[in-house]
Structure 1
Amino acid sequence: MPKKSIYHDYQPSTLLDQKTDSGSYYFIFYHNKLLINRHNNDIPFLKNLNQLPAEALRQIYMGQLRGSPCFVVEIESSFELSSLSFIDLKELYSILEYDIYLLAGRAIQIINWDKNHQFCGKCGSSTRTMEGEMAKICPDCGHFNYPRLSPAIITAIVKEDKLLMARHTYGITNRYGLVAGFVEAGETLEEAVQREISEEVGLKIKNIKYFGSQPWPYPNSLMVGFTAEYHEGEIKVDGKEIEDARWFRASEIQKRPSSISISGELIEWFIDKYSC
């Protein structure tokens, strides 16, 4: 089933062109954790922030969600209420609706961009937010800053009826997953796939094909998925990011990432295609 688009119930804007007495949606973050209403597994819908025991460090209008204004807010200190909890964004895959999760990813990137670009990276002067555009401008030297993405690739490599999976040196170290990495300056996405596979597991691949993409706000990436076929070489892990790698048949894959992630989609694609 196709996943809902971020724009299913959301219309982006930077100018609040209407006022409402009914309330607004608030993506409220404290130390990169999002405030969730546990009664309905949704973000808070409030008339204003005064309804919460919180003081905003920054607040940015993001557009309309379900026909009502929505804001992203960073607050100064945490608080506890019976129905509200701050939860790490990575833990919200199975809690929030998919399009709301995507919008939460957009929100956290916007609030961190605003926080990290208070001063010009070129001359050091204080920046100001441009009206009508998600951009910071330096009033002294004219340098612009927009929210930026760091593209990354992730690849399902198949050899006959087996999938290459690797165990990383970080995160959950007993779990095998797909090889991924950031795109470097001057290379194409396909070249990034070839380089990452060569660097991390010492293999050459062929028939690289685009699979799909996914916003990945950890912290500001766009994950681009590919499939590829083994060409030549023996597995030789780099020992820095990858500590082990081997070929898995579909029946041998036990722990799978959530299918909401593109990693999970790629693994499900392999299992569906190569299961006996």
Structure 2
Amino acid sequence: MLIFKGDALLAGDGEGSFDWPDRPSEALRCSLDFPESWQDLTAWCEVGEDFEARGAEWLDLRAIWHRFGEEAFARAGAAYQYMNWRRSMRFCSFCATPLEAREEDRGLSCPGCGRAFYAPLHPAIIVAVERDGRLLLAHNRRMPEKRYSVLAGFVEPGESLEQTVVREVREEVGIEIGGIRYFGSQSWPFPSSLMLGFTAHWSSGEAIPDGLELDEAGWFAPDALPNVPPPLSISRRLIDDFVRRQGCKN
């Protein structure tokens, strides 16, 4: 049982699990109240701000990865996305009838007009661009100071993933790229993204940050990287893969 209070998840002390055995009587919403089709998720409950538990602490989802590992992060992330969606999606957007959990899948149905609704998923690309043995890294204004990462952005209607990669790189740093290859993916529950990773090679242009999202950008050698994201996201996996491949060449 995962117990959420807003965006925080209840975890035990330094030795304990973040799974709790019992459903709190104060639960506002709980997946156990939904049909059987929802029960293959890790069970979750949402509690109010006044709920407390002794011998425990509240962690954000990133902390779950560091303390309990990737599998725990994935389970908690999936539960969080459904919990957050169920909290905000309460009424039909067409006829305002209260929605009900569907019997046949993890969707919601409107008993008034019969429409079905499903948890949103927002695809986004993230790309490691290389040039002559160097990696393009940039500082996003929303990142911690002096932390650099590879470029990323959301897919727009009508685009293929490859078109999004080209557009985002062009918009953010003004260069053209080629040799786009798929790398891997990661569910990213902040709040409901699917990150699709790619590698690419520089073709032309000088990397100049757009000044809107990015305020700094540059090409970095594998042995002279700046402060980069910690090892929990696909951005770091892309960076580590670049370093590994450069090391193999040498």
TM-score by length of 2: 0.91
Match of 2:39 among 57, 60, 63: 63
Instruction: Figure out how many residues of one structure are paired with residues of the other and give that number.
Output: 243
Higher strand share: 1
Q: Equivalents in 1 of 2:206, 2:23: separation in Å? A: 60
Per-residue CA shift, 1:217-243, capped at 9, x if unaligned? 000000010000000011122111111
Correspondence for 1:33: 8
Between the aligned partners of 1:36 and 1:105, the Cα distance in structure 2 is 14
Deviates more, 1:158-167 or 1:123-132: 123-132
Match of 2:155 among 183, 205, 208: 183
Aligned residues with identical type, % of pairs: 36
Cα distance in structure 2, aligned partners of 1:237 and 1:255: 18
Q: Corresponding residue for 1:156?
A: 128
1:87/1:47 CA distance change after superposition, 3 Å: closer
Aligned partner of 1:15 in structure 2 is: none
Stretches of structure 2 that go unaligned for 5 or more consecutive residues are 33-37
User: Quick one: distance in 2 between partners of 1:243 and 1:148?
Assistant: 31
Q: Greater shift after overlay, 253-262 or 134-143?
A: 253-262
Q: Please give the per-residue CA displacement for 1:130-164, whole angstroms capped at 9, x wherever unaligned.
A: 12421111112222111120001100000011000
1:19-70 alpha-carbon deviations (Å, 9 max, x no partner)? xxxxxxx1111011000112434223324425xxxx11100045358xxxx4
- Counterparts of 1:1-276 in structure 2, within 5 Å, are 26-50=1-25, 55-61=26-32, 62-63=38-39, 70-275=42-247, 276=250
* Distance (Å, rounded) in 2 between the aligned partners of 1:40 and 1:106: 24
Alpha-carbon distance in structure 1 between the residues aligned to 2:73 and 2:195: 16
Deviations along 1:69-123, one digit per CA (max 9) or x if unpaired, are x411110124444421111112222101321110000000000111111011122
Tell me the C-alpha RMSD between the 2 structures.
1.7
Q: TM-score, structure 1 length as denominator?
A: 0.83
Query: Is there any run of 5+ residues in structure 1 with no aligned partner, and where?
Result: 1-25
Q: Give the letter for the 2:241 counterpart.
A: W
Do 1:30 and 1:78's aligned partners in 2 also have CA atoms closer than 8 Å?
no
CA contact (8 A) 2:147 2:226 kept: no
- Judged with a 3 Å threshold, the aligned counterparts in structure 2 of structure 1 residues 255 and 56 are, in CA distance, closer, same or farther, namely same
Partner SS for 2:30: strand
AA of the residue aligned to 1:245: A
SS at match of 1:131: coil
**Deviations, residues 190-220 of structure 1 (Å, cap 9, x unaligned):** 1110000000000100000000000000000
| CA distance in structure 2 between the aligned counterparts of 1:272 and 1:153, rounded to whole angstroms | 22
Residues 272, 234 of structure 1: alpha-carbon distance in 2 compared, 3 angstrom cutoff:
same
Contact 2:107 2:119 in 1 (8 A): yes
> Aligned partners of 1:96 and 1:158: how far apart in 2?
33
